[in-house]
């Protein structure tokens, strides 16, 4: 069974379940496969990719992990749920078809007209909740793999969902460091992202991983992501993660959000600028009618500029530097 090939070919899949000498596997929906080791384990892991259909490098990494488990080449020592997210968009090579799926979680799909993305987000919420609830005493982990829309000064970085306690497990931070992330970003508020849903609603240790720039299938240089690939392998095998850490892993926190309130919204810089471009205090970032967005701190860094979003949505985030130690539990 070729998981990715079948998923890209259509919604039909066969067989629906099977086993190897070491594990059972089951497919409960298109683009979804669950693995259960025959030996006892104490961790439940969700690995997702393809929430945006044009972000193919993570999909290729995850698909290879699935094949390694099915073939017996990779040992399984955790409960594992693998999800490829936006299937119609993956098949067409588009970021999304109707609505950005990573703005639809925690029930936000109810705020939109029904479409493929809203239905898929609702299904994923149900599947993930049921997966974790089936073994409530296990540690819960979720990594949602993405690529950025544009080049980044930090090629590999993580986005930690907002948590009410303001602290993150030291083991999670250490894993992110060892897989070679070049930076971490702390989100400042609740969001409609998949990783916020799994963290807030399911109690998982979650992170969104941004891995390079979005490219079509077959055009990715996966050598950039050896640390991530080996980290995923170690995670599912419950082994020590090889150390691919960068010299430093700076931490940023969100300082302000550039919200597009109307179609008059304009960014005051070229949208081609790379993520983590720095701006100085007082610089004009964007205008929306009479509203101006300016740099408020001595220096702020930009990520995810996109003036093409719908009014009411985020058109960019500004960051300031922070100390990693402040955020570790």
Distance of CA 48 to the CA centre of its chain: 7
Instruction: Give the DSSP H/E element, type plus range, for residue 131.
Output: helix 116-134
Inter-residue contact 260 to 310 (CB < 8 Å): yes
Q: Which of 117, 125, 182, 210 is catalytic?
A: 210
- The answer to whether 188 is annotated as binding is no
**Looking at residue 328, what DSSP letter applies?**
B
CA pair distance 213, 218, nearest whole angstrom: 13
- The answer to whether 109 is annotated as binding is no
Distances (CA, A) of 282 to 270, 285, 295: 18, 9, 5
- The answer to whether 52 is annotated as binding is yes
Is 210 an active-site residue?
A: yes
129-163 per-residue burial string, b: 16 or more CB within 10 A, e: under 16: eebbeeeeeebbbbbbbbbbbeebebbbbbbbbbb
Distances (CA, A) of 104 to 23, 35, 51, 64, 81: 33, 26, 11, 28, 20
CA pair distance 77, 102, nearest whole angstrom: 29
CA pair distance 209, 219, nearest whole angstrom: 19
Q: Which residues contact 259 (CB under 8 A, 6 or more apart)?
A: 288, 312, 313, 314, 315
What is residue 24's three-state secondary structure?
Answer: strand
Residue set of the binding site for Zn(2+):
52, 55, 146
Residue set of the binding site:
52, 55, 146
What residues are annotated to the active site? 210
């Amino acid at each position: 069974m070729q998981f990715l090939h079948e998923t890209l070919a259509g919604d039909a899949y066969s067989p629906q379940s099977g086993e190897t000498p070491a594990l059972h596997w089951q497919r409960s929906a298109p683009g979804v496969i669950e693995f259960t080791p025959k030996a006892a384990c104490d961790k439940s892991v969700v690995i997702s990719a393809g929430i945006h259909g044009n972000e193919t490098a993570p999909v290729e990494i995850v698909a290879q992990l699935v094949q390694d488990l099915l073939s017996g080449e990779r040992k399984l020592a955790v409960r594992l749920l693998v999800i490829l997210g936006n299937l119609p968009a993956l098949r067409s090579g588009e970021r999304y078809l109707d609505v950005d799926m990573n703005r639809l979680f925690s029930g936000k799909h109810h705020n939109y007209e029904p479409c493929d993305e809203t239905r898929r987000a609702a299904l994923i919420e149900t599947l993930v909740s049921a997966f974790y609830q089936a073994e409530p005493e296990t540690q819960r982990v979720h990594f949602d793999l993405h690529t950025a829309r544009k080049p980044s000064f930090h090629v590999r970085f993580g986005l930690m969902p907002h948590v009410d306690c303001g602290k993150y497990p030291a083991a999670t931070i250490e894993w992110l460091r060892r897989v070679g992330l070049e930076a971490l970003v702390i989100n400042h508020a609740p969001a409609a992202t998949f990783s916020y849903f799994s963290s807030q609603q399911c109690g998982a240790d979650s992170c969104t991983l941004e891995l390079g720039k979005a490219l079509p299938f077959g055009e990715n240089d996966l050598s950039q992501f050896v640390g991530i690939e080996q980290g995923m392998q170690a995670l599912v095998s419950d082994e020590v993660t090889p150390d691919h850490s960068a010299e430093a892993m700076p931490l940023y926190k969100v300082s302000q959000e550039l919200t597009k309130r109307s179609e008059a919204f304009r960014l005051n810089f070229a949208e081609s600028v790379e993520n983590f471009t720095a701006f100085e205090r007082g610089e004009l970032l964007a205008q929306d009618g009479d509203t101006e967005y300016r740099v408020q701190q001595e220096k702020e860094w930009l990520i995810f500029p996109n003036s093409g979003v719908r009014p009411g949505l985020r058109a960019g985030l500004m960051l300031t530097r922070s100390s990693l130690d402040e955020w570790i539990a």
